[in-house]
Structure 1
Amino acid sequence: MDGDYLSGRICAVWTQACRFAEALGLTPRSINSAERELEKVGFIVRNAGINGERAGDRQDGIVVWAAGINLAPLVERFAEMQAKAKAQELQARSIQQCRAEIRQLGQRIREAGDDDLRERAETILPDGRTARISNIDRLIAIREALSAMLAAIEHRSDSGPEPDPRALKTSDAPEENCAPNIQNQNSPRKRTAPARDPLERIRPVTALVVATESYRGIVEALGRPTWPNLVEASWRSCGRLGIAQSTWGRACQQFGRERAALSVLLIDRNAELPPGHRYRVGSPARCLAGMVRRAGSAGVNLAGLFRVTERSAQQAPSQSPAPKQTTEPQAGPMAHLTARLMASVERRVTPDG
């Protein structure tokens, strides 16, 4: 009965082993062996009477005394067992997700049509099968290695074929085709270095500054703040935020895994802001789906969104409970654009499936 699990109550069963065996289709010897194993690991206490006799008495629904199997140790360790079960479930989901990502990477490598790349992938993962690999650390290592290989080949194909060095030598060309290129000293054109991606300056440790307590707890459980751990933490947070795995997959494909992880980190933080806050996210799923769709058209200023969130996090501890202002303080054009972005994303996107 449920009342047996209350504090101070006796929680025990005194059903004979032969009855258990009959109900489960086993032998009494198997039941006794199982009970000994449970007692050995500290889950139960066997306190049967003389000659192993089991008995007990229940009055008004309350167990008064019992000689049989005492379940008190099991009840006391319920929280521990629940935490272990949750950890095993999370690990199983992580393994399943990692295997799916490895399969996708393998397919993209095969579609690249690079025999050398395919052979290198075979050395990392023979036959391309992960069914027999249950170690999450090994799966993550395989995924990162394949991802790095694919990124290298995609970067090489994006940059185009290397120019023929002979084409750069003017002595190989006819003299009449080599007109001098004289620059005007007053020319307004200046040689500038290629623009650097502002997201390259964001490090995992920096990203965790604006993360929620729940998110930081996941990263701490995974080890230390690294991009692979942030990707894993964001993937796990999707379930808590109601973000479908299909949306997470599209975000990884559209932004890249690290930027998708940073997007979920920011959405998670903004979802915990108080109602009425200009940056609060009402529907994390719709927000991420909207960011993915906007990335294909107008683009998403993820670096600007991070900087605004970072400034907000730095200012939050210094704010005292002063009287409410009738108008919101101006936080600059970047904050205004970011607020409009987050609001428009949730308004225009249909609920995520």
Structure 2
Amino acid sequence: MRTEPHPALPQGYSRRDVIALVADVGRDIGLSTRLTDILTRMVGSTDQDAWVDPEKEPIFYGRQETFAQRLRISTRQLRSHEKTLQKRGLIERRTLANGSRYGSAGLGLVLTPLIERFTELLDIREARKAQFERMKQLKAKRSVRLATFRDELARLSEADQLSDDVQAMIKERATWPRTDTLLTLGEARLSQHLDDATDLCTRLVDWIENHSDSSCEPEETFRSYIQKDIHQIHSEKCNASENKRSAGKPAHADSNMSGPDSPDDCREKELQAETEALQGLFSGYYGLSHAVSLASAEFQMEMEARNGERPEYALVEAAAARVPHLGINLTAWAAACDRMGRTKAAICVLLLDANRDHAVRPVLNPGGALRGMIKAHNRGKLNIIGSLIGLHRRRGL
């Protein structure tokens, strides 16, 4: 007679969790869809207390003929599936010589091995989730490479685009797998593809830089966006101290308030000197460097990992790497890059990431906030410089 307690699930888990776990990792442990279905049905037919009570044992007592009929397969097929599950170490067979199963005698298919391997299966699921997250990041980086190649190509004159070297690179780019198929490649193949895509973009950039006679248009830069937003700030009208009448009351005859253009009471006037001083921080290469200094620690780590790359490219790739961690859908990131341009979209992600810890208005839904910024950009109302200055002041720099 057994004196030792039976294995039980870790505290907080139940039979339902076993079913969900088997369904999640079935393919990862080599089970077919049919085998996964059979095993989860077996688990669901056991006593739920047997999974958490050390005095009990989870055993499936169902007759083969009845169970096979439920599965709409033959008894012979079911017997073969049970043997496969036994070989995989997921069940134990405890029956009479003729295969009979009796609940009163504790004879049937014992599912205790699932309890013993529960932690192992949890680790498999977590590893697969981590791999999927890595693949999502690789996919986001590939979208950056795709946009980089397209934008760099657009800088070339028509004659340069028809050169043999560039045409060879265009043909190589045409062999890239479609975006909607990237996650089916597997991590190793996707990683290799990203390396190849990076190499192609680097070769195109090097070709452009080595051909000074190219009729290239100026590249989208961090500075151009800042200049546009600085212009917006300068064009704002000050109305902080306008002399207003209260509804239904006479005018304030003895008011000593200054007019709209007064330098004493206008909040915009008070901040103008500081704002103009800060505007110089957000221009050119130093502006990019200063913006990154305001970013979250995680964003800065992504930038440091790309220390050898061109600053504007490193910024975009760092933002792309942060996108999955912020819960931003890849479609939202792609839309931001398409509508705003990659650099401006990256600055938006930097701002959203940095303002998650805002004391008054923390960014709780970066994905929704990014879509809101896209809409503001479409209306011409997105003020990047104002947001950067606000972040600068909040950082106390």
- TM-score when scaled to structure 2? 0.47
Structure 1 position 300 matched with structure 2 position 349: no
* Equivalent in 232, 251, 259 of residue 336 of structure 2: 251
Instruction: Report if aligned partners of 1:48, 1:54 keep a CA contact under 8 Å in 2.
Output: no
- 1:270 has 2:355 as partner: yes
Contact 1:49 1:68 in 2 (8 A): yes
SS of 1:68's equivalent?
strand
Pairing 1:175-254 to 2, within 5 Å after superposition: 195-200=284-289, 209=297, 225-226=305-306, 227=314, 230-238=318-326, 240=327, 243-253=328-338, 254=340
Is 1:51 equivalent to 2:136 in the alignment?
A: no
Asked if residue 117 in structure 1 is aligned to residue 166 in structure 2, the reply is yes
Match of 1:129 among 156, 173, 177: 177
Structure 1 residue 72: Cα displacement = 2.2
Question: Equivalents in 2 of 1:19, 1:76: separation in Å?
Answer: 32
CA distance in structure 2 between the aligned counterparts of 1:52 and 1:225, rounded to whole angstroms: 64
Gaps of 5+ in 2: 1-43, 220-282, 307-313
> In 1, Cα distance between the equivalents of 2:348 and 2:194?
21
Kindly provide the amino acid, as one letter, of the partner of residue 14 in structure 1: Y
Q: Does 1:73 align with 2:116?
A: yes
CA separation in 1, counterparts of 2:218 and 2:108? 78
Deviations 1:58-96 (A, max 9, x none): 8xxxxx945313132354445324324534544565566
In the TM superposition, residue 294 of structure 1 has moved relative to its aligned partner by 4.8
Whole-Å separation in 2 of the counterparts to 1:122 and 1:141? 17
Compared CA separation, residues 127 and 280, structure 1 to 2 (3 A): closer
Match of 1:12? Answer: 59
1:280 matches 2:362:
yes
* Partner-residue secondary structure (3-state), 2:103: strand
Partners in 1 of 2:364 and 2:123 — Cα distance? 34
Return the letter of the residue paired with 1:158.
E
Q: Name the % identity.
A: 15
Distance 2:199 2:369 in 1: 31
State whether residues 121 and 146 of structure 1, in contact with CA within 8 Å, keep that contact through their aligned partners in structure 2. Answer: no
Contact 1:56 1:67 in 2 (8 A): yes
Give the Cα separation in 1 of the matches to 2:389 and 2:147.
31
Shift of 1:25: 4.5
The structure showing larger relative contact order (alpha-carbon pairs under 8 Å, at least 6 residues apart) is: 2
The two structures have a TM-score, normalised by structure 1, of: 0.52
How much is the aligned-residue C-alpha RMSD, in angstroms? 4.7
- Which AA in structure 1 matches 2:356? A
Partners of 2:169 and 2:204 within 8 A in 1: no
2:50 and 2:200 map into 1 onto residues whose CA distance is: 54
- Cα deviation for residue 248 of structure 1 reads 1.4
Distance 2:79 2:297 in 1: 54
CA 268–49 in structure 1, closer or farther in 2 if over 3 Å, else same: same
Alignment partner of 1:141 is 2:195? yes
Query: Aligned partners of 2:116, 2:100: CA distance in 1, in Å?
Result: 19
What amino acid is the match of 1:117? V
Aligned partners of 2:152, 2:317: CA distance in 1, in Å? 24
Number of residue pairs matched?
255
**Secondary structure in 1 matching 2:285:** coil
